[in-house]
Structure 1
Amino acid sequence: MSTKSDVSSPPARHTAWQRLCVSDFDRLYPLLTTYIQQPSLAESVTELVMDFSSRERSWPNDYPPDEPEESSLGVTGDLVREHVRSLGLGDRETKGMLHALRLWVNRQETPANWQPGDSESSEPHYLHDEFAGFAAVVLLSLCKNLSTLHIAPPMSGFSPMLEDYFLKTNYGMLQEPGLQNLTKVQVLPGMWWGEETVYGQLEFLRLFQYFHRLPAINTISIDSLQEYQSHYTTFIPRTGNMKTLKLDHVDMDNSFLTLLISVPKVLVELKVSLGGKEHIDGGNPMIYPQSIGRALAQHKETISALDLDLDLCVSEFVCKDKVRDDSNDEISDEDSDIEEFGRDYYKIDQESRLAVEKISTAAESYGWTIGSLHDFTSLTQLSIGVYTLLGPPDSRGERLARQPPFRLIDALPPKLESFCLYGYKKGENLDIDEHVNEFMINREARFPSLNEVRGIEEEVPSVAQLFPEVSFLDRMSSGIDEEEENSHYWKTPEFPEEWKPVE
Structure 2
Amino acid sequence: MVFLSLPLEIQAMVIPRLSSIGDLAALSQSCRSIHRLCDMKTRERFYQIRVDPKDYSINKTFDLVMEILKNPTLGNYVWEIVQTRQPSMERDYVQTAEQRDLSAGDRDLLRAAVRKAGFTGSQENVVLNMLMQNTTKPPGENREPFRFPNTAYGYDHGQIHGTFIAQALAAILISVSPNLESLVMTQPFSVFSGFYRGGERPQDDNVLFPLDRLLRRANAKPASIPYLQNLRKVYMIVDNRNLDDRFYMAIDFLECAMLFDCLPSIESISTDALCDDESGEARVVLEPRSSNISRIYINHSALQTTFLVSLIQSCKVLREFQYAIGGRCVLGGWSAPFNARTFIKSICPHKDTLEVLDIDAEHNMHYFHPSYFEEDRVDQEIDQEQRALESDNDDDDERQMLRSFSSNSGSLKEFRTLKRLSVGIGFLVYFAMGVRENNEPRQPFLLPEALPESLEYLCIRGYEKGKCKKWDAHIDALVASFVSGSSGIKEITGIEEIIPNSEDVDDPDDNKDLLWIPIYSIDD
Would you call these one fold, judging by a TM-score over 0.5? yes
CA contact (8 A) 1:155 1:201 kept: no
CA contact (8 A) 1:59 1:130 kept: no
User: Hey, what does 1:21 align to over in structure 2?
Assistant: 50
How far apart, CA to CA, are the structure 2 residues paired with 1:20 and 1:96? 23
How far apart, CA to CA, are the structure 2 residues paired with 1:313 and 1:16? 45
* Corresponding residue to 1:441 among 480, 500, 504: 480
User: Hey, what does 1:321 align to over in structure 2?
Assistant: 384
Aligned pairs for 1:35-434 (under 5 A) are 35-53=68-86, 58-62=88-92, 74-75=103-104, 76-89=106-119, 91=121, 93-94=123-124, 96-101=126-131, 104=133, 117=145, 126-153=160-187, 156=190, 160-172=209-221, 175-188=224-237, 191=240, 193-229=242-278, 232-316=283-367, 319-321=382-384, 323=386, 360-361=407-408, 372-390=411-429, 407-409=445-447, 410-434=449-473
Rate the CA distance shift 1:20–1:456 in 2: closer, same or farther, 3 A: same
Q: Aligned-pair distance for 1:100?
A: 2.7
* Corresponding residue to 1:463 among 502, 507, 514: 502
How far apart, CA to CA, are the structure 2 residues paired with 1:308 and 1:451? 20
Amino acid at match of 2:248: Y
Amino acid at match of 2:311: L
* Corresponding residue to 2:514 among 465, 488, 492: 488
How far apart, CA to CA, are the structure 2 residues paired with 1:133 and 1:408? 55
The root-mean-square deviation of aligned C-alpha atoms, in Å, is 4.0
Q: Please state whether the residue corresponding to 1:374 is helix, strand or coil.
A: helix
Rate the CA distance shift 1:92–1:83 in 2: closer, same or farther, 3 A: same
Deviates more, 1:13-22 or 1:216-225: 13-22
Q: Aligned-pair distance for 1:269?
A: 1.5
How far apart, CA to CA, are the structure 2 residues paired with 1:413 and 1:139? 45
Rate the CA distance shift 1:240–1:108 in 2: closer, same or farther, 3 A: closer
CA contact (8 A) 2:262 2:292 kept: yes
CA contact (8 A) 1:203 1:231 kept: no
Deviates more, 1:297-306 or 1:430-439: 430-439
Q: Please state whether the residue corresponding to 1:212 is helix, strand or coil.
A: coil
How far apart, CA to CA, are the structure 1 residues paired with 2:233 and 2:492? 30
Q: Please state whether the residue corresponding to 1:270 is helix, strand or coil.
A: strand
Rate the CA distance shift 1:43–1:318 in 2: closer, same or farther, 3 A: farther
| Structure (1 or 2) with the greater helix fraction | 2
Q: Aligned-pair distance for 1:171?
A: 2.0
Q: Please state whether the residue corresponding to 1:43 is helix, strand or coil.
A: helix
CA contact (8 A) 1:187 1:221 kept: yes
CA contact (8 A) 1:167 1:210 kept: yes
CA offsets 1:61-89 (integer angstroms, 9 cap, x no match)? 34669x99xxx975233432232123334
CA offsets 1:108-139 (integer angstroms, 9 cap, x no match)? 8989xx98749xxx996642122122112111
Q: Aligned-pair distance for 1:16?
A: 5.6
Rate the CA distance shift 1:434–1:167 in 2: closer, same or farther, 3 A: same
Q: Aligned-pair distance for 1:305?
A: 1.5
Equivalenced residue count is 416
User: Hey, what does 1:343 align to over in structure 2?
Assistant: none
How far apart, CA to CA, are the structure 1 residues paired with 2:478 and 2:135? 71
Deviates more, 1:126-135 or 1:14-23: 14-23
CA offsets 1:8-62 (integer angstroms, 9 cap, x no match)? xxxxx99862122221223222222222222111221112222125xxx725434
Q: Aligned-pair distance for 1:288?
A: 0.9
Q: Please state whether the residue corresponding to 2:514 is helix, strand or coil.
A: coil
Rate the CA distance shift 1:492–1:101 in 2: closer, same or farther, 3 A: closer
Rate the CA distance shift 1:175–1:222 in 2: closer, same or farther, 3 A: same
Q: Aligned-pair distance for 1:90?
A: 5.9
User: Hey, what does 2:66 align to over in structure 1?
Assistant: 33
Q: Please state whether the residue corresponding to 1:210 is helix, strand or coil.
A: coil
User: Hey, what does 1:395 align to over in structure 2?
Assistant: none
Rate the CA distance shift 1:406–1:415 in 2: closer, same or farther, 3 A: farther
Q: Aligned-pair distance for 1:211?
A: 0.9
CA contact (8 A) 2:248 2:275 kept: yes
CA offsets 1:354-389 (integer angstroms, 9 cap, x no match)? xx9966356xxxxxxxx6201011112111112223
Q: Aligned-pair distance for 1:273?
A: 0.9
How far apart, CA to CA, are the structure 2 residues paired with 1:372 and 1:130? 49
User: Hey, what does 2:492 align to over in structure 1?
Assistant: 453
Rate the CA distance shift 1:15–1:494 in 2: closer, same or farther, 3 A: closer
Q: Aligned-pair distance for 1:227?
A: 1.9
CA contact (8 A) 2:285 2:398 kept: no
Q: Aligned-pair distance for 1:165?
A: 1.0
Rate the CA distance shift 1:407–1:309 in 2: closer, same or farther, 3 A: farther
Q: Aligned-pair distance for 1:168?
A: 1.1
Q: Please state whether the residue corresponding to 2:185 is helix, strand or coil.
A: strand
Amino acid at match of 2:116: S
CA offsets 1:123-166 (integer angstroms, 9 cap, x no match)? 96642122122112111111111111122337946962211211
Q: Aligned-pair distance for 1:265?
A: 1.2
Q: Please state whether the residue corresponding to 2:259 is helix, strand or coil.
A: helix
| Identity fraction in percent | 24
Rate the CA distance shift 1:224–1:302 in 2: closer, same or farther, 3 A: same
Where do 5+ consecutive residues of structure 2 fail to align?
Answer: 1-41, 147-155, 192-206, 368-379, 432-440
Deviates more, 1:377-386 or 1:278-287: 278-287
CA offsets 1:407-429 (integer angstroms, 9 cap, x no match)? 45143222221111111111122
How far apart, CA to CA, are the structure 2 residues paired with 1:249 and 1:145? 31
User: Hey, what does 1:9 align to over in structure 2?
Assistant: none
